[in-house]
Amino acid sequence: MTDSNQDNYQKPSDEAIKAALTPMQYYVTQEAGTEQPFTHEYWNQTDEGIYVDIVTGEPLFSSLDKYHSSCGWPSFSDSIMDERIVEIEDNSFGMKRTEVRSRLGDSHLGHVFQNDPESPNGTRYCINGASLRFVPKDQLEQEGYGDYLKLFD
């Protein structure tokens, strides 16, 4: 899939980010924080649409790849486009994990895990809801994400 709007996704200044985000959204995306599980409305949302980086608007995940996970965070088996996701080794807190960040916004999103028995393909992108904005399928065109409607055909 190609994205005709890719030039529109730019990271704003830190001042603009602070002004636009809630303290939790800023903490998660800019300070690599983590929200508490089961607290964000997206963890069990099932509506059709896409999830974009709350900072830049980069399309990251689709509801078609979202699945119910007992972890308490929104979980996806794949990203919309691999090149939008950056994976970084994370050895914090005495654990070996893989951090997931958005490419253009450099927003901390969460972590990706392999061999998840709940995932349809074994991959679980465990993502903080605070790092995302949901764009419902029926609003994709008007919000400039019309290219992604074909995902739902």
Task: List active site positions.
Answer: 126
Where b means 16+ CB within 10 Å and e means fewer, 99-122 reads: bbbbbbbebbbbbbbeebeebeee
Q: In what order do the strands lie in the sheet with 85-90?
A: 66-67, 75-76, 124-127, 108-113, 97-102, 85-90
For residue 93 the two structure tokens come to: 């807190």
